[in-house]
Amino acid sequence: MTSIRCLLFCTSGHIFLPNRTFILNFIGAILLIMVSTSLPSVSQSPRRYYHIANGWTDVNISGKIAGKFSWQLENQHRRQDMQGAYKSETTTGNPYNNLNQHVFRPFIHYQVNPNIRVSLMPFGWIGSNRFAEGKPFAFFSELRVSPQIILTQNLGRLRVDHRFRYEFRWLGKNQALNDKSFVYGGDFSETNYRERFRYQAKLTLPLNKAQMGDKTLYAQAYNEFFLNMGKNISNLNLFDQNRALVGLGYRLNHHYSVEASYMQQTIFRFNNTDKNNVDLNNILQLNFVLSNVESLFKKKASH
């Protein structure tokens, strides 16, 4: 948290936004850390990699509340090819074949100024299939609270977003897997409590216009790493995962946008007997965005 405060405030107490050189050096340092962390250790068993195709669909709805306050609802459905037993015979080539995860995240945002937004997810629910090599796979629920801050810079046509998110996670007990519906998994014991820090560096570039507006085609890319935190986390599981994404989006107007992206997700599970299993997920992600919902209702009321 000290590093985040240093990023936000200079010695005089004024808000500090990093310049272009700082951003490039910072991203380079993060990438170096991620690469060095992901390299196999000589004292560790050779890593066993599993290549799994995924299909994620995201619906993102947002609107204004009053003044500088706004809200957001994210509903994401994730599916994958492999059923979770890490057996090649369970793969079909269809990334939407099996249920993987369902994510519901509501946020309240406060726009401090055009470059800084602070947010809180007061209550999130995530339903997941738990995968462990050589073990029966199961379903579990997770309750989550997340504070967040986003720092934004515009470098010509390029927009750079730095997102810092901290997650307080209460994981429920395992239950028999049911691919037809999600069920509530209670018994959120203290031993299953987790915390996690996430940092995402995202680039957005309009392609057919000088800036984002109606009928704008744009490219986007980001990298995000996850660090597990808290007393229940061992050194082996400190580095949780990394996500790297590239994609295209189209903003029809200030209400509707669609995005299609490819993501490579590396999950360092280390939950098999040899503690060496790593998932390399190739993900097709489709996003549907509905913004400024309140103005849609105003238009209907005026008619």
pLDDT in tens, the chain (303 residues): 444 444 444 434 444 455 666 666 666 655 555 555 555 443 456 888 888 899 999 999 999 999 999 999 999 999 988 755 566 556 777 898 888 899 999 999 999 999 999 999 999 999 888 766 566 667 888 999 999 999 999 999 999 999 999 999 998 887 776 554 455 556 677 778 999 999 999 999 999 999 999 999 999 999 999 999 988 888 778 889 999 999 999 999 999 999 999 999 999 887 777 777 888 899 999 999 999 999 887 766 555
What six digits make up the tokens of 74? 């994210």
Tell me what pLDDT residue 133 has. Answer: 58
What is the enclosing helix (H) or strand (E) of 277?
Answer: strand 277-290
**pLDDT given at position 264:** 95
The secondary structure of residue 237, as a DSSP letter, is G
Domains of the chain, by residue range, sit at 53-302
Q: Which two tokens stand for residue 20?
A: 């272009």
Please identify which residue in the block is written with the tokens 């936000």.
8
Answer left, alpha or beta for residue 175, where phi above 0 means left and psi between -120 and 50 means alpha: beta
Whole-number Å distance between alpha carbons of 227 and 99? 25
Q: Considering the entire predicted model, what is its pTM?
A: 0.81
Closest CA to 274 of 50, 44, 41, 40: 44
Q: Is the dihedral of CA 146, 178, 94, 241 positive or negative?
A: positive
Q: Which residues fall within 8 angstroms of residue 130, CB to CB, at 6 or more apart?
A: 84, 137, 138, 139, 140, 174
Rounded Cα gap, residues 155 and 2, in angstroms: 27
The two structure tokens encoding residue 105: 């995240």
CA dist 48 and 77 (Å) reads 27
137 close to 149: Cβ distance less than 8 angstroms: no
Rg of the chain in Å (alpha carbons):
20
Q: Which residues does 266 contact at the CB level (< 8 Å), separation at least 6?
A: 38, 241, 242, 243, 278, 279, 280, 281
With respect to CATH, is domain 53-302 assigned 1.20.272? no
Q: State the Cα–Cα distance between residues 186 and 189, nearest whole angstrom.
A: 9
Give residue 4's pLDDT: 43
Q: Please report the pLDDT score of residue 166 as a whole number.
A: 98
Instruction: Give CA–CA dist 286/79, Å, rounded.
Output: 12
The CA distance from 250 to 204, in Å, is 12
Please, what sign has the CA dihedral across residues 118, 109, 58, 230?
positive
Interatomic CA distance for residues 283 and 56, integer angstroms? 7
